[in-house]
Amino acid sequence: MSLTKLLIISLTFINVIVWPNQPISANTTRELTTEKNKSNSSLQLPCELSEELSDTSATLPDTFQERENSVEELAHQVTVRVFTNPGAGSGVIIKRKGQTYTVLTNDHVANGSRDNLYRILTADGKLYSAYRKPLPDLEGVDLALVEFKSAIPYCVAVLRNYEPIVGEVVYATGFPNYRHNSTAIENTFEWGLKAFELTTGTVSMLMSEPSLPQGYKLGYTNDIELGMSGGPVLDYRGQVIGINGRPKYPFQGSEVFRLTDGTTPSPQLFKQMEALSWAIPIASFQQIISSQ
């Protein structure tokens, strides 16, 4: 599959500081349930079940629909729900060492726990007690690490080692905290794996300095909802290219879209930016841990 033609966009971008609750959108979303059949077992996608990276040059399906189905299955395996007290967010398993698994999520998700206690919901429906792993070098970036222990061999995501490309198809996953039905808004905290959601879109904006505060540099068209923060943004191979963090159309307006140099966007640029969700590129995290 060839990537969408590279678009060269020279823009200045900015960030939202508050994480507003947005209405749930039915567009481009597909829900996984515990009854869903497994994908073709012969298909090999990037997925780490040991401490060594899996082969990322494996054969991929020929059609877009087959590829999307396979990425969805992989996303279901590596995406976890992070329960805090009293809220919840999402995360992605990025490492296994012995029986210890490391989950990458947002700092604003981890900070949502009043007692610094967490529970992790994994792809098999099990809940694990978890604790935050301090990493001082993450200060100033909206990322955090949470760890849990299990003897079960869970899938570990592969982090992509090259930059996103404007126009490429991406998949955002996580667990929305609320869903609309015909009469009311339902809390999904007791839904288990049925709350999982994947949305499809494209990379629309990439940012350098001056940058969005807290590391937000990747703008994409996918819908994300309250509760999906901390979940991964995946490419067509299922590799992680970013971490969800903020949704479209913040109610605070253009003033919360302020760059690290203190400037704000023009009205025209603001309209473009507010229509996108924003993520922290995984390259930012890789640069931080490579300096350890």
Q: Find the CATH number of the domain harbouring 282.
A: 2.40.10.10
Please report the pLDDT score of residue 47 as a whole number. Answer: 60
174 shares a domain with 109: no
pTM: 0.79
Q: Please say which residue of 96, 120, 149 terminates a domain.
A: 149
d(CA 14, CA 216): 8
More confident residue, 269 or 142: 142
The DSSP string of 1-34 is -PPPPPP-------B-SS----PPP-TTEEE--T
pLDDT at 36 exceeding the cut of 80: no
The lowest-confidence range among 9-18, 52-61, 68-77 is 9-18
Q: Would residue 110 count as lying in a domain?
A: yes
Domain limits for position 257? 159-290
Of 103, 130, 149, which residue constitutes the final position of a domain? 149
Q: Is the pLDDT of residue 5 over 70?
A: no
Q: In this structure, are residues 240 and 158 in contact, taking their beta carbons and an 8 Å threshold?
A: yes
**84 & 181 share domain:** no
Q: Is 218 found in the same domain as 138?
A: no
Determine the pLDDT at residue 159. Answer: 96
Say how many domains are in the chain.
2
Residue 164 is predicted with a pLDDT of 96
Q: Are 218 and 281 in contact (CB under 8 A)?
A: yes
**Could you tell me which residues come within 8 angstroms of residue 141 by beta carbon, excluding any fewer than 6 positions away?**
107, 214, 215, 280, 284, 285, 288
Structure-model confidence comparison of residues 127 and 292, the more confident one = 127
Q: Is the domain of 144 the same as that of 254?
A: no
Q: 165 and 235, same structural domain?
A: yes
Q: Do 221 and 259 fall within a single domain?
A: yes
Sign of the four-CA dihedral 217, 218, 221, 227:
negative
Q: What is the pLDDT of residues 274-286, one digit of tens each?
A: 999 999 999 999 9
Which has more confidence, 244 or 16?
244
